[in-house]
Amino acid sequence: MIKRFFSRYFELFFWIAAVLSMAMTSPTEESHFTLCPLKLMGIGWCPGCGLRHSIIYLLHGDVARSFNAHWLGIPALAVILNRIFVLTRARLQEGRQFRSAV
């Protein structure tokens, strides 16, 4: 039962948690801890970090900085929000089908 619930809702909770954590992160504050292998090697620019910064700026309403950080930030956030919408709609439909069957 728990394994089924976990496998059914994990991706939805993951994307919601990711967007909420980026929305609560300050885009200008530099982190003292990183998991980025490029930054750990001393390379200053990372496309993944730039994409994350772009999404954070966008969630804080700064479209110009978002585009400057990484031009794919706007479409990436659109894809993530669309995925959250699709997963939520699918889970709600599953719930309705289950209730009507019972």
**DSSP code of 72?**
T
Structure tokens at 12: 């939805």
Domain boundaries, the chain: 13-22+40-101
Phi, psi of 7 (to 5 degrees): -70, -30
pLDDT in tens, the chain (102 residues): 777 778 888 999 999 999 999 999 887 777 667 778 888 888 877 888 889 899 999 999 999 999 999 999 999 999 999 999 999 999 888 877 766 665
Residues 35 and 71: their CA atoms lie apart, in Å, by: 22
Q: Is the pTM higher than 0.85?
A: no
Dump the DSSP string for 17-61: HHHHHHHTS-SSSPPS----HHHHTT-S--HHHHHHHHHHHHHTT
